Amino acid sequence: MPAIRAALLTFILGFLSAPLPAAPAPDLPKEEALLARLKEDRYEALAGQLREAAGEQRMGVLLQLASLGTERAIDLVDRNIDSVADRPTLLNAVASEGHREAGPLLLRAVRTWGPDAGHPIERLHFVLGPEVADELRRTAGATTSDAVRRAVRAELIRLGDGRAIADLRRDLAAAKLASRDDAQSAIDILSVASECFEVAGVVGALFRRVDPGRSDVHRQLTQYAAGVALWLGDRDSVGRVVELLGSPSPAALKYPGLHSLEEILTRNTHQVFATTGEWKAWWESTGRRTPLFTVHVPPADEAAIINAAVAWGRTPAAGPLISGPIVYLQDDAKYRRGREQVQAGLDAGIRPYTGGELTLLEKRPFAVFEIESNGETAFATLGDGSNRSNWRLARLELAKREGAWRVLRRVSS
């Protein structure tokens, strides 16, 4: 007990003496060994249940094995996935946790699911990277399914394949916009561009070429392209969106299911104005020089923003929101290539674990998510999931000063 009290006192004194205290580094080898043992014990229990399970119960056990993510668990799922009625849902569970052990199962599904292979193809980016590009191209060349070919193209772009991104850039630049069919074709091209920040400029150029007065499909394309261009961070397109607010029939640019022009501007500029005149005045003054907010944050900045948010969570200003010596960050990133770069930049006291791993370790889950930035200012949500059904959330505004991100304040929304 004296040793425990001394360790606790040391931590408290360290916390009080500095505004942004660093978390003690966890004993990672012991913790990783413990997690491995817990996963192995859980695997044995689930494997035993699977031998006796049938119907929906069997599916439930397989979903738990998929979440476990070990090589043995994924192999067992692989050997049983064809025995369930809902293979796509089970495959989603395998891929969504981001465990690299899921790669062989996903690739087997790509090779054997035939015309249904589009589903596993569009989940490869959770666990694999551009190394699978050649196999995907062979798949596209061998199939007669348009759906599979579309899935391959979309996935190559998500994987950051340079050749696929160059092809997309050429298609966007060459898109014809004269007829209704041309406009529909441009919408189809844009549908794979919304996750590719590398083509922000050419998307913006396409948007600014569209004449919404040509047809109803052109109006839909205008609204859709405006949203994608600003989402990707193309500042040059803001002026055109502001101009369209004052068009003779702005109601015609409110296609169902798409954000309105006002919503697009507000979401990506973090400005709120009641009239078109106010939007124009802002654009003519400071707006044209102000970067747009985007969720496509460079991994180095994303890691630094996470570190700053967690550090703030330990301060008196936060409550503190984070009171334990170690923070566990839930791994919600979609792309393996980005996820690994972000993890490499995290402070030593921040360990990325999945939700299932947190449960096994009986750790309090903390998460930093909903990150968006314009390169100078950022917003992020810091969450404490001690009560899994009622998370405590803090929306934070951060600023980059002399190359370092710092929390400025807690915002209400």
* Average pLDDT of span 382-409: 91
Question: Within 13 A of 196's CA, how many CA atoms are on the CB side?
Answer: 29
Q: Quote the pLDDT of residue 7.
A: 36
pLDDT in tens, 104-126: 999 999 999 999 999 999 999 99
* Average pLDDT of span 303-323: 92
pLDDT in tens, 370-392: 999 999 999 999 998 887 788 88
Neighbours of 315 (CB within 10 A): 17
pLDDT band with cut points at 50, 70 and 90 for residue 2: very low
* Average pLDDT of span 71-99: 94
Q: Quote the pLDDT of residue 364.
A: 83
Q: Quote the pLDDT of residue 356.
A: 87
Q: Which residues pair with 351 in a beta bridge?
A: 328
Q: Which residues pair with 409 in a beta bridge?
A: 397
Q: Quote the pLDDT of residue 24.
A: 47
DSSP per-residue string spanning 198-261: GGHHHHHHHHHH--TTS-HHHHHHHHHHHHHHHHTT-GGGHHHHHHHHTSS-GGGG--TTS--H
List C-alpha distances in Å: 310 to 17, 51, 223, 380. 17, 44, 38, 11
Q: Quote the pLDDT of residue 336.
A: 77
| Residue 13, pLDDT above cutoff 50 | no
Of 143, 137, 98, 150, nearest to 333 by C-alpha is: 98
pLDDT in tens, 44-65: 999 999 999 988 999 999 999 9
Q: And the tokens for 375?
A: 């390169």
Higher pLDDT, 329 or 9: 329
User: Rounded to 5 degrees, what angle do the CA atoms 290, 228, 200 make?
Assistant: 65
pLDDT band with cut points at 50, 70 and 90 for residue 10: very low
Query: Crossing angle of helices 216-231/261-269, nearest 10°?
Result: 10
Contact 222, 186 (CB under 8 A): no
Residues 99-114 as b or e (16 or more Cβ within 10 Å = b): bebbbebbbebbeebe
| Residue 331, pLDDT above cutoff 70 | no
Q: Quote the pLDDT of residue 333.
A: 56
Q: Quote the pLDDT of residue 6.
A: 40
| Residue 234, pLDDT above cutoff 60 | yes
Work out the mean pLDDT of the chain and round it to a whole number.
89
Q: Quote the pLDDT of residue 14.
A: 34
Number of H helices, E strands in the chain: 19, 6
pLDDT band with cut points at 50, 70 and 90 for residue 330: confident
pLDDT in tens, 299-311: 999 999 999 999 9
Interacting residues of 179 by C-beta distance below 8 A, sequence separation 6+: 215
Contact 296, 197 (CB under 8 A): yes
| Helices of type H across 270-335 | 276-285, 299-313
* Average pLDDT of span 203-209: 98
Higher pLDDT, 102 or 413: 102
Q: And the tokens for 219?
A: 């109006």
